């Protein structure tokens, strides 16, 4: 009979990963531990990564804002981004001397794909003198053409920090409208959407309340505004996780990507998670197997064109200062 080689690690995740599945992961996890030491590498993992990555091999986990902050201060030669491409690019901007790897170059984002620097130029022409705030879910080229970045964790604060009556907020139209409900600053939005969060509907929320009376419903601000309006709380992935830790609702439903509930549930076994969720196909391109391969072969290296790097870095650093 096969035995578990890493019982302490497995005990942490045993409520969400069946033992036979875990056994299939152990070879890769052991190899990744060794490779990290050998290459002086760290793994940064977003909250949407699968539990065997998030709880098994990641050194630093968090929302986009936390990953950007940590990329700037982490000490290592190599950063492996277990997340999507814009997160790896942001890490490279903030840690230009480190090698930044993404295990699958195809890990993109529908929001990042929804806007180009040419679109920004059109917006500048149509709205001269209105500052452009770009969500971090964009390419480095779009960040370079914008004035400042924001994440879902600091969007209201960034909007209000500029001290102007009107801003452009790109590319997530729903995030922009959700932020507009919380500030007096006028917000002009772009029409990008997150292909994961746009699928939630107010009917989902009502159906859940009917099936699970008393359930606490948390929504990511990339959800449509009528969904956020019916939820009990809206916030970034880190804010949702903190909400569960602070309030410990008896039953909770996170309207966001599927792995999020698994990852948060590990730390809160007393909370019951109701799990209607949507998968992000981009986040799911990252696996233990391709993280191991990235470390073994040093691929796929993420670089940023020097012609745009300084301007893109300025947009991200301006955000981090606030």
Q: Which is nearer to ligand SF4, 134 or 137 (CB)?
A: 137
Pick from 90, 110, 137, 263 the residue near ligand 13P by CB under 6 A: 137
* Dihedral Cα 311, 239, 252, 211, nearest 10 deg: -50
Task: Specify the stretch interacting with ligand 13P by CB under 6 A; choose among 63-71, 93-101, 270-278, 304-312.
Answer: 63-71
110 binds, among ligand 13P, ligand SF4, none (CB under 5 to 8 A by kind): ligand SF4
**Which is it for strands 166-170 and 41-46: parallel, antiparallel or unpaired?**
unpaired
For residue 64, the partner it binds in ligand 13P, ligand SF4, none, with Cβ less than 5 to 8 A by kind, is ligand 13P
- Residue closer to ligand 13P, measured from CB, 172 or 230: 172
Choosing from 194, 218, 228, 316, the residue that interacts with ligand SF4 (CB under 6 A) is: 194
Residue by residue, DSSP assigns 8-57 as HHHHHHTTTS-HHHHHHHHHHHHHHHHHHHHHTEEEEEETTS-HHHHTTT
Q: Is 148 in the site for ligand SF4 (CB under 6 A)?
A: no
Nearer to ligand 13P (CB atom), residue 28 or residue 63: 63
Residues 59-118 binding ligand SF4 (CB under 6 A) are 84, 109-111
Q: Which does 92 bind (CB under 5 to 8 A by kind): ligand 13P, ligand SF4, none?
A: none
Concatenated DSSP letters of 266-316: HH-TTSEEE---B--TTGGG--HHHHHHHHHHT-PBP---HHHHHHHHHHH
Residue carrying structure tokens 């080689």: 5
- Alpha-carbon distance of 281 to 287, in angstroms, equals 12
Binding positions for ligand SF4, 118-147, rule CB under 6 A: 137
Distance CA 168, CA 51 (A): 36
176-188 burial string, b = 16+ CB within 10 Å, else e? bbbbbeeeebebb
Identify residues 196-215 at the interface with ligand SF4 (CB under 6 A): 196
Instruction: Catalog residues that contact ligand 13P under the rule CB under 6 A.
Output: 47, 63-65, 137, 151-153, 194, 220, 222, 236-237
Residues forming the site for ligand SF4 (CB under 6 A): 84, 109-111, 137, 194-196, 222, 257, 280, 282-283
């Amino acid at each position: 009979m096969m035995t578990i080689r890493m019982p302490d690690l497995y005990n942490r995740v045993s409520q969400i990963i069946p033992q036979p599945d875990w056994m299939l992961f152990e070879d890769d996890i052991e190899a990744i531990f060794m490779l990290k030491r050998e290459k002086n590498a760290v793994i940064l993992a977003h909250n949407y990564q699968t539990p065997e990555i998030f709880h098994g091999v990641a050194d630093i986990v968090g929302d986009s804002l936390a990953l950007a902050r940590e990329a700037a201060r982490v000490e290592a030669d190599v950063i492996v981004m277990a997340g999507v491409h814009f997160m790896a690019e942001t890490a490279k901007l903030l840690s230009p001397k480190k090698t930044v790897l993404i295990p699958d170059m195809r890990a993109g984002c529908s929001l990042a794909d929804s806007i180009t620097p040419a679109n920004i130029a059109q917006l500048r022409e149509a709205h001269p003198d209105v500052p452009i705030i770009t969500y971090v879910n964009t390419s480095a080229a779009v960040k370079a053409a914008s004035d400042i970045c924001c994440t879902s964790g600091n969007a209201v604060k960034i909007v209000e920090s500029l001290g102007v009556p009107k801003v452009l907020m790109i590319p997530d139209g729903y995030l922009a409208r959700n932020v507009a409900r919380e500030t007096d600053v006028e917000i002009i939005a772009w029409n990008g959407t997150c292909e994961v969060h746009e699928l939630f509907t107010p009917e989902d929320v009502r159906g859940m309340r009917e099936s699970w009376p008393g359930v606490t419903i948390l929504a990511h601000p990339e959800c449509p505004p009528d969904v956020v309006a019916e939820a009990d709380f809206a916030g970034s992935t880190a804010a949702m996780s903190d909400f569960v830790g602070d309030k410990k609702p008896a039953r909770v439903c996170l309207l966001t990507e599927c792995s999020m509930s698994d990852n948060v549930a590990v730390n809160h076994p007393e909370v019951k998670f109701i799990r209607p969720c949507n998968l992000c196909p981009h986040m799911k391109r990252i696996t233990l197997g391709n993280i191991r391969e990235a470390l073994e072969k040093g691929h796929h290296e993420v670089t940023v064109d020097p012609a745009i790097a300084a301007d893109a870095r300025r947009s991200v650093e301006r955000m981090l200062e606030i």
